[in-house]
Amino acid sequence: MFNSQGEDVVSGRHRADDATRMAQLLTEAWRDLVAARPLLEREFGDAQELEFTVEEGKLFLLQTRAAKRTPWAALRIAVEQVREGLMEREAALERIAQLNPEGITRTRIAAGQGAEALARVTSAGVGVVSGPIALDADAARRHADRGAPPILVRDDLSTSDIAAINIAAGVLSRRGSRTSHAAVIARQLGKVCLVGCEELVIDRQQRTLRIAGRLLHEGASLSLDGNEGNVYAGEVRSVVERPEELLAEIARWRTQEPAPVA
C-alpha cells in the first residue's frame, strides 16, 4: 500500500493491492523484494512470511518468520523443498510427522456446477462453504444455535468480529486485504474468507445486501469459493479431494524408493 503504515495494512479497512504499482513505479525495490524471497527461504530452510517497508524508493526488510500454513500446504511445501534440494527427505518427514494423512483434504466446486459468480474477489482462506447470511455477531449466533453455521458479511473485517468469525462457516467483507489481522485469524481458524468485495453494499436497516446489483436478505443462502475467490447466491455443490500425488511421494520416501522420472 502506497503512502501507508503497517496499521493500514492490518486494520482490515483498506485493500492492500498495490503490488502492480510497486513493480511499475519502484522497480529497484521490487526487484530486491523478489530476490529476497528465495534467499530467505534457503537461509531459514522453510517457507517464509516477511514484513517490509519502502522508504524513499529503498526496500527495508523488517522481519521474517516461518509461514503459517494449512496441512495441505505443509505437505506440498515439504515435497517441493525436497525436490528443489532445499531439504533432505528425513528432515521433511520430521517436519510433517504431526500431520494426519487421512485428514488432509480440501473442498472445491463440483465440476459442471454451472452457477454464475456474483463477484470475484481476494481470497484469504481456501475452501468452499455455503450458509445463511449473517450481518452481525447476534445474527451469526442465532444461525449457529440453530445448527446452520452462517456466512458472516461485513463492511470491514476487524478483530472485534473474532467471536462471530469463530462460529461462522465463512466470511465476506467489502474492504480489507488478506494481510489484515482478522483475515489472518480467520485463516488460522480454517474459515473460508473473502475480502475486498467492492460490489458488496450492505443495508443494515433493511437487513439486506446487494452484490453486483443482486438483492439478498439476511438469512438467505450465500456460497463462498475460497479457492477461486468467487461469491455465489444460493448453495453450490462441492466435492472433497485429497493430495494423492503428494501422499504417494511421501510414501515412497518412507520406503526409500526412488521417485519416478518425469
* Domain co-membership, 125 together with 139: yes
Whether 3 shows a pLDDT value over 90: the answer reads no
Note whether 230 and 141 are same-domain residues.
yes
- Give the range of the structural domain holding residue 144, as residue numbers without chain letter: 107-240
Residue 88 lies in a domain: yes
Q: Let me know whether 203 and 147 are in one domain.
A: yes
- Any domain includes 262: no
Q: Tell me, yes or no, whether 136 and 163 share the same domain.
A: yes
| Residue 1, domain member (yes or no) | no
Q: Is residue 11 classed as helix, strand or coil in its secondary structure? A: coil
Q: Which amino acid is at 172?
A: L
Task: With beta carbons less than 8 A apart as the criterion, state whether 24 and 2 touch.
Answer: no
Which pLDDT score is estimated for 180? 80
- The residue whose grid cell reads 523443498 is 81
Residue 144 in domain: yes
Are residue 35 and residue 121 in the same domain, yes or no? no
Is residue 218 domain-shared with residue 160, that is, in the same domain? yes
115 and 228 in a single domain? The answer is yes
Residue 39 lies in a domain: yes
Whole-number Å distance between alpha carbons of 240 and 69: 19
Q: What is the pLDDT of residues 110-119, one digit of tens each?
A: 876 667 899 9
Are the beta carbons of 197 and 176 closer than 8 angstroms? no
Cross-strand bridge partners of residue 150: none
Residues 224 and 115 in one domain: yes
Q: Are strands 122-125 and 119-120 parallel, antiparallel or unpaired?
A: unpaired
Asked if residue 232 and residue 112 are part of one domain, the reply reads: yes
The whole-angstrom separation of Cα 222 and Cα 7 is 31
Q: Does residue 223 sit within a domain? A: yes
* Number of domains present in the structure of the chain: 3
Q: Look up residue 131 and give its three cell numbers.
A: 450458509
Q: Which helix (H) or strand (E) holds 230?
A: strand 230-233
- Do residue 86 and residue 161 come from a single domain? no
In a domain, 83, yes or no: yes
Does residue 210 sit in helix, strand or coil? Answer: strand
Question: Whole-model pTM?
Answer: 0.80
Write the pLDDT tens digit of every residue in 39-57. Answer: 999 999 999 999 999 999 9
Same domain, 114 and 233: yes
- Do 100 and 158 belong to one domain? no
How many Cβ atoms sit within 10 Å of the Cβ of residue 6? 12
261: in domain: no
> The domain that contains 215 carries what CATH number?
3.50.30.10
Residue closest to 151 by CA, chosen among 139, 169, 137, 176: 169
Using one digit for the tens of pLDDT, what is the confidence trace for 129-157? 999 999 999 999 999 999 999 999 999 88
